[in-house]
Amino acid sequence: MIDFHTHILPAVDDGSRSIDESLLMLRALSEQNTKKVILTPHFYADNESVDSFLNRRNEAYELLKAKAPSDSPNTVLGAEVRYYAGIGHLQELKKLRIDGTKLLLLEMPFSHWTEHSLSEVLDIAGRGNITLVLAHIERYLPFITGNIFQRLAESGVLFQANASFFDGFFKSAKAIKMLKENRIHFIGSDCHNTSERRPNMTTAFQTLNRRLGEYAAKKFFDYGNQLFLQNQI
């Protein structure tokens, strides 16, 4: 199982505040049957340059790698990139992809899509060197109206849902429906700490097993792995 969205790197964003907390989060994910963890600290273009962000991120990663036990899940560097009008012109956008892949985790604003934002996202998706993955898709549902979903999907955009979407009877029913409609490709814990936003991949895993059955649940996670491999460069 891949945890596609985490804030585990120490002291890089509003996620883990220390290496000790990061190690606890990694261990929790290991106990939750998570084999691969994508490290996706927030990148806000209005706060700093891409290179400055990458330097800070990579330093934190060196520290994590030095301290993580050998039986920890496999970790891969990435970022959660906040959309802004004009992001398509950002020269270094490619550098924010998940390491070794074309995948880029994009966080959209919590407001209605405009024709401009949609065409900018579709333009990036159409370039061929970036596969966009929209972060925690369940948060944008009120804003994805009309045929926006369809146009995104037709352009090869993928969708990530948070594990918490699979918690609770009615919410998880909606999550499972979206998953069956191929509107969820990856699941992420979006964990920030060891308390109120802790790693919770078990929530999703158990719900999928219960509602879909073990075979179909495994097929879903296998499909995610396949998509990850297909996007390797």
Residue with Cβ nearer Fe ion (133 or 217): 133
Q: How many helices (H) and strands (E) does the chain have?
A: 7, 9
Range 185-197 burial, b when 16+ CB lie within 10 A, else e: bbbbbbbbbbeeb
Binding mask 52-91 for Fe ion (x = CB under 5 A): ----------------------------x-----------
Question: Which two tokens mark 50?
Answer: 């891409």
Residue with Cβ nearer Fe ion (164 or 172): 164
Tell me the closest approach of the beta carbon of residue 162 to Fe ion, in angstroms.
Answer: 8
Residue with Cβ nearer Fe ion (80 or 138): 80
Residue with Cβ nearer Fe ion (11 or 212): 11
Q: What residue number has its CB nearest to Fe ion?
A: 190
Tell me the closest approach of the beta carbon of residue 166 to Fe ion, in angstroms.
Answer: 17
Residue with Cβ nearer Fe ion (3 or 190): 190
Tell me the closest approach of the beta carbon of residue 41 to Fe ion, in angstroms.
Answer: 9
Q: Phi first, then psi: what are they for 231, rounded to 5°?
A: -95, 10
Q: Please name the amino acid found at residue 191.
A: C
Binding mask 143-182 for Fe ion (x = CB under 5 A): ----------------------------------------
Q: In what order do the strands lie in the sheet with 103-107?
A: 42-43, 80-82, 103-107, 131-134, 158-162, 186-188
Among 81, 190, 199, 220, binds Fe ion (CB under 5 A): 190
Rounded Cα distance, 68 and 26, in Å: 8
Tell me the closest approach of the beta carbon of residue 79 to Fe ion, in angstroms.
Answer: 10
24: three-class secondary structure by DSSP? helix
Rounded Cα distance, 230 and 108, in Å: 24
Tell me the closest approach of the beta carbon of residue 206 to Fe ion, in angstroms.
Answer: 22
Tell me the closest approach of the beta carbon of residue 81 to Fe ion, in angstroms.
Answer: 11
Q: Which residues contact 114 (CB under 8 A, 6 or more apart)?
A: none
Q: Which stretch binds Fe ion (CB under 5 A): 68-76, 112-120, 154-162, 188-196?
A: 188-196
# chain residues binding Fe ion, by CB under 5 A: 2
> Which single residue is written with the structure tokens 């219960």?
210
Under the criterion CB under 5 A, does residue 3 sit at the interface with Fe ion? no
Question: Which two tokens mark 76?
Answer: 């891969």
Question: Which two tokens mark 19?
Answer: 């290496």
The residues that touch Fe ion, with contacts defined as CB under 5 A, are 80, 190
